[in-house]
A = this chain, B = another copy of it.
């Protein structure tokens, strides 16, 4: 069987969100993101100190988080500080809320249907 290639449409639902979830989908990155949630910006060196990997690896992770819009970077002196960035987090939450909402609605419709059927 060959590659089907059916969908000529694009855009729609949460296809954009997958990149953000992917960014959070690595334990190291999630740990960094979690840590930065206290609002204090931290340099690459500081963030590397308690990671079990090299500074370069941490740098790459930070760039992935930055590309996903989850953290922001700005250079101060010789160091590069990364800080929490709440907008994308809000988007992710809104998306998951929306999915959960659809699920709840579906449940509700089912319940109503069953009740109507029982009368």
Contact = CB atoms under 8 A, between A and B. Distances in A.
Interface class of chain A by DSSP: helix
A41 B119 CA distance: 26
State the number of copies, please: 2
Contact of A18 (B13, B14, B25): B25
Nearest to A101: B37
17 contacts: A3-B53, A4-B52, A4-B54, A5-B52, A7-B51, A14-B30, A14-B31, A18-B26, A18-B27, A18-B30, A37-B99, A37-B102, A37-B106, A38-B102, A86-B100, A89-B100, A96-B96
A82 interface: no
Size category of the binding interface on chain A = 35 or more
Given A21-B21, A21-B24, A37-B102, 12 more contacts: A3-B53, A3-B54, A4-B52, A6-B52, A7-B52, A22-B22, A24-B25, A34-B99, A37-B99, A86-B100, A89-B99, A89-B103
A110 interface: yes
